[in-house]
Structure 1
Amino acid sequence: MVPLNKADAFAALQMDILRLQGFKSSKGSAVDVGLGPILHAFPKATFPVGAVHEFLASQCEEAAATSGFVAGLLSALMGPFGTALWISASRTLFPPALKTFGIQPDRFVFVDLQKEKDVLWAMDEALKCGALTAVVGEVHDISFKASRRLQLAVEQSQVTGFVLRNNARKPGTTACVSRWQITPLPSDPVDDLPGVGFPQWKVELLRIRNGKPGVWDLQWTNGRFQQVYKPHSVSHEQSKKVG
């Protein structure tokens, strides 16, 4: 048996750790979600599919911005043939607005339930269905145990899950592989008319397993995310220097 050199041993150990933490090889090739510089924050510079991502929103404006940002991610993940579920007990999403992000509303199955605990149950069941591309669930709170069940489900099916936590009372600790916060930014005016430009967000990747958190300003333009630069913007490289 030929001994591994240090670089090969380190790479093998890193892959073992990634597998233990839920980053298993997907059934297909890596999906380019068009996140540009943010991709370098992820393990192997690849957006984790077959994983559960958590988004925090404390206000209605942040919840709306989060829905738009997630729709942009789903546009790339679903491609021309994918199907997704959107599960909620208090859905505020306007389905025709999905066309802004290149998604026809009929590509989604909307499940509206009465109780939040039923949302988590339905999400757990849906994430086990490998025929789906993604499942989005809107809840206020989620326990570590519940989030762990979701993560175990996607590790088998390779479906990608998104937990949108609007008005979360206790962020706490979860088993989700990432935690985000999306804040709306004023769009650039068009013909001196404010508020009619391309959607813009301050994107904060608060936590990512085996990755590097950071803050970026992004805009949705021509069907893709594009980095924009504003006076307050802190790039990923700048955040490393500050930290």
Structure 2
Amino acid sequence: MSGLAKQERLAALRASIANIERRPVLSDPVSTQAHAPDQFIVPAPGLVQEVFADERRNTAALLGFALGQARSLLTPVRRAVIYLQMLAEAQEMGLPYGPGLATFGFDPDALVLIRPANIVELLWAVEEALACGAVAAVIADIAGHPKVLDFTASRRLSLRADAGGTSLFLLRYGAWREASAAQLRWHLVPALSATTQFDARAPGETRWRARLERGVIGDRQNQEWLLEWTENGFHIVDDRERRPAQPVERPSLPGDLFADLADRLSEAG
């Protein structure tokens, strides 16, 4: 077979896989945990979820979304969440901040950080963590599109997550979507935070806009939610309830106040 014929067959195969990816899911909808009507649906444990953002700078939004779900999966038996990030990327992007996690409502002592040297070690660590009965969820932050993370690898991770009852969140970036065995795929965009009661210009509760690109939760498919974080978890915000923040009128400062503020300041410089 000539090189051109091989390329044509590969292109046809990729197109066929892409068509399969776009078809509705034929399996049963993903089961969910009990929730209040205004709370976001939290999928049951033991699933693989891909969470995509368009840009790498939105890694904190992806991590917050994954940790928000992982928090609800913690139990007296499953007391840990594993967060994996390759060493070089952790040095570039930073690590989760303990006091910030506590403010978010997540116990920093429950988060175990692992920094493998390469993607092969990271995937091996993910499989081992999914098999541990003390782990509630595994979060793997993966930049780029490594070839080793193909459909076969994702299928192996899906089987391991199902067998161990441990959820896996794959944090990914960019517009490209590989063939994957993940049951759910999200596209996440950070949204403007809620307003506060006493200062309309100050940031309020964190918000995300989450779109379900793949999979079915209950009877919902290809749906989008505006989510807000509360002490009880993700709250669904009705876009119709949102109102633009009104500017707060403040009295102007007297002209002679600026001279008083500058009194006794050094003129050197």
What amino acid sits opposite 2:231 in the alignment?
A: N
The aligned counterpart of 1:88 is: 85
Structure 1 spans left out of the alignment, 5+ residues: 1-15, 40-45, 234-243
The aligned counterpart of 1:8 is: none
The aligned counterpart of 1:186 is: 192
Q: What is the DSSP-based 3-state SS (H/G/I as helix, E as strand, rest coil) of the residue aligned with 1:133?
A: strand
How do 1:1-243 and structure 2 match up within 5 A?
17-18=27-28, 31-32=33-34, 36=38, 38-39=40-41, 47-79=43-75, 82-89=79-86, 90-91=89-90, 92-96=94-98, 97-140=100-143, 141=145, 142-165=149-172, 167-168=173-174, 170-190=176-196, 191-192=198-199, 194-209=201-216, 212-230=221-239
TM-score by length of 2: 0.66
- Distance change in 2, residues 1:186/1:196 (3 Å): same
Structure 2 spans left out of the alignment, 5+ residues: 1-25, 243-269
CA deviation profile, 1:90-147 (whole Å, cap 9, x unmatched): 2334231221332111111100122122211211121111221111111133311111
- Distance change in 2, residues 1:102/1:80 (3 Å): farther
What amino acid sits opposite 2:67 in the alignment?
A: A
Report how many aligned residue pairs link the two structures: 203
Task: Tell me how far 1:192 sits from its aligned partner.
Answer: 2.6
Quote the Cα distance in structure 2 between the aligned partners of 1:50 and 1:170: 25
Q: What is the DSSP-based 3-state SS (H/G/I as helix, E as strand, rest coil) of the residue aligned with 1:99?
A: helix
- Distance change in 2, residues 1:168/1:35 (3 Å): farther
Q: RMSD of aligned C-alpha atoms?
A: 2.9
Q: What is the DSSP-based 3-state SS (H/G/I as helix, E as strand, rest coil) of the residue aligned with 2:135?
A: coil
CA deviation profile, 1:139-173 (whole Å, cap 9, x unmatched): 133311111110011121111111111x3473111
Q: Which one has a bigger Cα radius of gyration?
A: 2
The aligned counterpart of 1:12 is: none
